[in-house]
A and B are shown apart, each in its own frame.
Chain A
Amino acid sequence: MVLNPFDDASADLGVPSTAKILIAGGFGVGKTTLVGSISEIRPLRTEEPLSDRGVGVDDTHGVRAKTTTTVAMDFGRISFPSELVLYLFGTPGQERFWFMWDDLAIGAVGAVVMADTRWISDCFASIDYFERNGTPFIVAVNCFDGAPRFQAPDIRIALTLAPEVPIVMCDARERDSVKNVLVSLVRYVMSAKSPSQANLA
Chain B
Amino acid sequence: MTSRDGDPERWLDQEAGPVVRPYAVTRGRTLPSGGTLFGLIDIVVGTGERTTAHFRPGPEHRRIMSLCRRPIPVVDLTSEMDLPIGVVRVLLGDLTEAGMVRIIPAQQRPEADQRLLRMMLDGLESL
Taking a contact as CB atoms under 8 Å apart, the answer to whether A19 and B106 are in contact is yes
Interfacial residues of chain B within 75-118, with CB under 8 A of chain A in the complex: 75-76, 78-79, 82-86, 96-97, 99, 102-112, 114, 116-118
Once A58-B31, A87-B40 are accepted as A-B contacts, the answer to whether A14 and B70 lie under 8 Å apart by CB is: yes
Taking a contact as CB atoms under 8 Å apart, the answer to whether A44 and B85 are in contact is yes
Interface string of A103-139 (1 = CB under 8 A from B): 1101111100000000000000000000000001000
Taking a contact as CB atoms under 8 Å apart, the answer to whether A80 and B104 are in contact is no
Residues of B in contact with A (beta carbons under 8 Å apart) = 22-23, 27-31, 36, 39-43, 45, 70-71, 73, 75-76, 78-79, 82-86, 96-97, 99, 102-112, 114, 116-125, 127
With the chains together, A186 CA to B119 CA distance in Å?
A: 10
Residues of A in contact with B (beta carbons under 8 Å apart) = 1, 3, 5, 10, 13-20, 38, 42-47, 58-63, 68, 70, 75, 77-78, 80-82, 84-87, 89, 103-104, 106-110, 136, 175, 179, 182-183, 186-187, 189-190, 192, 194, 196-197, 200
Closest approach, in angstroms, between the C-beta of B122 and any C-beta of chain A? 7
With the chains together, A81 CA to B120 CA distance in Å?
A: 11
Taking a contact as CB atoms under 8 Å apart, the answer to whether A20 and B102 are in contact is no
Once A1-B96, A46-B84, A46-B85 are accepted as A-B contacts, the answer to whether A18 and B23 lie under 8 Å apart by CB is: no
With the chains together, A17 CA to B41 CA distance in Å?
A: 9
Taking a contact as CB atoms under 8 Å apart, the answer to whether A183 and B112 are in contact is no
Question: 6 tightest CB-CB pairs across the interface, nearest first?
Answer: A62-B28, A80-B123, A18-B41, A45-B84, A15-B71, A1-B99
- Residues of the A chain whose Cβ atoms lie less than 8 Å from the Cβ of B29: 60, 62
Closest approach, in angstroms, between the C-beta of A139 and any C-beta of chain B? 17
In-complex Cβ contact of A109 among B70, B99, B110, B123 (8 A): B110
Once A18-B43, A38-B127, A87-B75 are accepted as A-B contacts, the answer to whether A186 and B117 lie under 8 Å apart by CB is: yes
With the chains together, A86 CA to B41 CA distance in Å?
A: 9
Once A14-B71, A44-B75, A106-B39 are accepted as A-B contacts, the answer to whether A82 and B122 lie under 8 Å apart by CB is: yes
Taking a contact as CB atoms under 8 Å apart, the answer to whether B104 and A10 are in contact is yes
With the chains together, A106 CA to B107 CA distance in Å?
A: 10
